Structure 1
């Protein structure tokens, strides 16, 4: 379950960056809450760092929201990245849908996609 504290973007040492930490499940049941937290973070910062290290469950809608946040940030000239390691549940889903090769993201200036070529 997403805890309230994890949905509030927290200012990092750099005032132009925010870290959004998510705990528990990142599933369709929490998608509205997660979407709003992402939008708030992107509206208030030039860089958003998503910390999913404590996520224990994720589904396709959760993955789609993360991808959408990355595309939204890129379109606005902002940076969207991960902090820490990706949890096992996210790696399993990513690999299960075939998102495990290196490829550029056409929505993000042909930078390495966070799924197809990003963190391991």
Structure 2
């Protein structure tokens, strides 16, 4: 089975604009039959926009149902938050990283700050 890839918000936002490199990467994964997933946290951030109805529809078609963030992810997110410097505004990133780690999927991101979670097991796509 092909390993899925988990998208973070920055990657998803950029991937719905065809001129961005993220759109090309996403298309390549889809053509390879690689599953693509997002967490509910990513979906919520994405829906905050700004985005067009077409971008929203495209994203829904590509990623399907977001993965729920449950107790295991919440506990891991809290550990990531506490061990990565308790940076203001970073809890959402911790939840996104935790969902990818728990899901066993590398994270595709346009945000290099996720590298700080590598020691906790986060793989970057």
TM-score (ref. length: structure 1): 0.32
Q: Name which structure has the greater RCO, CA cutoff 8 Å, separation 6+.
A: 2
- Higher strand content, 1 or 2: 1
